[in-house]
Every structure is written in structure tokens, then in C-alpha cells.
Structure 1
Amino acid sequence: MADTTGHAKIPTITWAQRNDVVYLTICLEDCKDPAITLTDDKLVFSGKGGTNKELYEITVLFYKEVNPQESKYGVQARNVQFVIRKKETGPYWPQLLKNEKKDEDESDDEVDKNMDLAEPPDEEEDSDDEDLPDLE
């Protein structure tokens, strides 16, 4: 594992899921030979990449247990992609991360941001409909 002296950056992560797998992508260009550890409850990633070859590290504590033996990953030119098998097939996880500390302010902000992003297109469509007769 790389030396963690507080200088490592946190990479951007995207994820999606099915009822049996989690698709996780660590967005880090030109990452060669990253250190990756996948256990039943977490993913630990460390690697150098990006334009300046800086050190990036992250530990992802999963919402529920996964099956590391049936999971796989691939290091690509622009990212590191994971297909992580869930230990239990079932309903979708409400979130990727396990909540060790309940931070209601943070989760409320995320919900508000999502709601704000969803509302403007409706308003724009309504205002566009109203504007059309004015243009004629």
C-alpha cells in the first residue's frame, strides 16, 4: 500500500447496480498498477494517475456485503472499472456506502440537489408553451 501522509487525492467514483451486482468506476486516467483490495465489506484503492501522476486513494465501505471471489475489475486508459457481485441477490441498495455516522444534513442536501435538477426542465417546458403564442 502506498504511503498515506495526507497528500493523496480522492478520485471521482461513479456507480450503478442491478439486483445482483454493483458496477463501480474509479475515474482516473493513466493509472498503472493500482493497489486494489476487495473484501466482503469494502474496496480499498490506491494508484497514481492523471496528468501529473498524483497519488489517489479511497476506501469504499459498502452498504451491504459483497462477494470478492466472484467480482472482477479492469484497468482501462481513462478509468478502473469494477463488476462487484453482491453477496445477496435482492432489492436494490438505497445507496452505495454504509452509513457509519448518520449525517442527515448531507443526505438532505443530496435529495434537494436531485429535486432541483429535476424541476427546471418542467418549468422550462411550461414557460416555452406559454411563450409560443406571444411570439406569433
Structure 2
Amino acid sequence: MQPATAKWYDRRDSVFVDFCVEDSKDVQVKFDKSKFEFSCVSGTDNMKHQNTVDLFGEIDPKGSKHRRTDRSVLCCLRKAEAGKSWPRLTKDKTKNNWLSVDFNNWKDWEDDSDEDLSSFDKFSEVSMLNLHSSSVRISSFTVVLIVVSCAFLQMMNSMGGDDLPDGADEEHDSADSDDEKMPDLE
């Protein structure tokens, strides 16, 4: 048995933990005030996973839920004290090799208004699927944007700094022509 790889992110009222397990079966999630336990069997090789997480803060076990998809199990841990940010998921400051921050979904919500967060207050089936699928779209878009930006920068660097096409900047060419004689120094 080994721990499942997971990513987490913080919101005003909840903390989300996304366990990256494909084709999961026998999913069990138990929520307590200060910890939660996750277990499942995943993949074609029926790998058994188990995670026990002592949480940074307290949660509302009755308000906490989970949702299984084909690629992961997303858990919504409802904070007992809404509006208090969690700098980490776990109580201990030690680094867990199976846990990382989900930067695609991380948001500095302390500066946001309550109106902007209304969509995160409900953990319905629709909002969970939208949250999860939007992170995939954002992730794919970000990758494409980075690749295009790098290709553009590489193309610009290969062109050189002073290689302007003919006629591109006529004023610049006439004012700084190499054909004019330099004045004598006095």
C-alpha cells in the first residue's frame, strides 16, 4: 500500500485536495475535525492507496464531501473557521513527497470580494465538475501559451536587433543613414 499523489489549494470557506488516481475503485474518505483518511484501489494493476492527513486547521466533517472522476478523487474540506487561510495542508511542517500545491487553482482570495467567491461556496456536482475540468483547460492553455511565447522569442532573437525589413522605418533610416558624412571634431 502506498500514498496517492495529491495536489491541494485553499479557498475562503474550504480546502480542496485532488488525489490523482486513475480508474479508482472502492473509494473511501473519512472526515474528522482535525484529520481525514483517503483510500482506494486504482489502475489496471489494482494498486492500493491510503493517505492519512493531520490537517493544519479544523474542518466541518458533515460539510465536507468528495467526488470521484475517472482521473481523480476531489475532496472539499469545509473549514470550521471560514476566512482563515491555511499556509499548508498538514499540521506538520515536514514535506510529504506525495503532496504538492495546485498552482493552477491557487488563488489569493484574501483580496477578493464575497461576490466573486459565491461559486466556490457550493460543493455541488456541477460546480465540482466545472472546477475540475476548468483546471485542465487552464493547464492546457497555459502550456500552449508558453510554447508559442518561447517560439516567438526564439524567432525574434534569431532575427537580430538591427535587422529591420526594407522600408519598415523610413524616418529612422533617413535620419541615421551611413551615407552622410560625419562632422569634424573641434
TM-score range, shorter chain: 0.5 to 0.7
The residue type equivalent to 1:16 in the other structure is Y
Residue 135 of structure 1 and its aligned partner are, at CA, apart by 7.2
Distance 1:70 1:47 in 2: 21
**What is the match of residue 86 of structure 1?**
79
Q: Deviations over 1:104-129 (max 9, x none)?
A: xx59xxxxxxxxxxxxx9xx9xx97x
Give unpaired runs (5+ residues) of structure 1. Answer: 1-7, 108-120
SS for the counterpart of 2:60 is strand
Residue 92 of structure 1 and its aligned partner are, at CA, apart by 1.4
Decide which of 98, 107, 110 is 2:91's aligned counterpart: 98
**What is the match of residue 27 of structure 1?**
20
Q: Aligned pair 1:10/2:3, yes or no?
A: yes
The residue type equivalent to 1:92 in the other structure is S
Is contact 2:29–2:39 with CA below 8 Å preserved after alignment? yes
Where does 1:1-136 land on structure 2 (aligned, <5 Å)?
A: 8-99=1-92, 103=94, 131=157, 133-134=160-161, 136=163
The structure-2 alpha-carbon separation of the partners of 1:34 and 1:135, relative to structure 1 and needing over 3 Å to count, comes to farther
Runs of 4+ off more than 2 Å: 130-136
The structure-2 alpha-carbon separation of the partners of 1:134 and 1:17, relative to structure 1 and needing over 3 Å to count, comes to same
The residue type equivalent to 2:79 in the other structure is K
The structure-2 alpha-carbon separation of the partners of 1:135 and 1:97, relative to structure 1 and needing over 3 Å to count, comes to farther
The residue type equivalent to 2:61 in the other structure is P
> CA RMSD, aligned part only?
2.8
Residue 134 of structure 1 and its aligned partner are, at CA, apart by 4.5
SS for the counterpart of 1:67 is coil
Query: TM-score, structure 1 length as denominator?
Result: 0.68
Distance 1:73 1:80 in 2: 7
Query: TM-score, structure 2 length as denominator?
Result: 0.51
**What is the match of residue 3 of structure 1?**
none
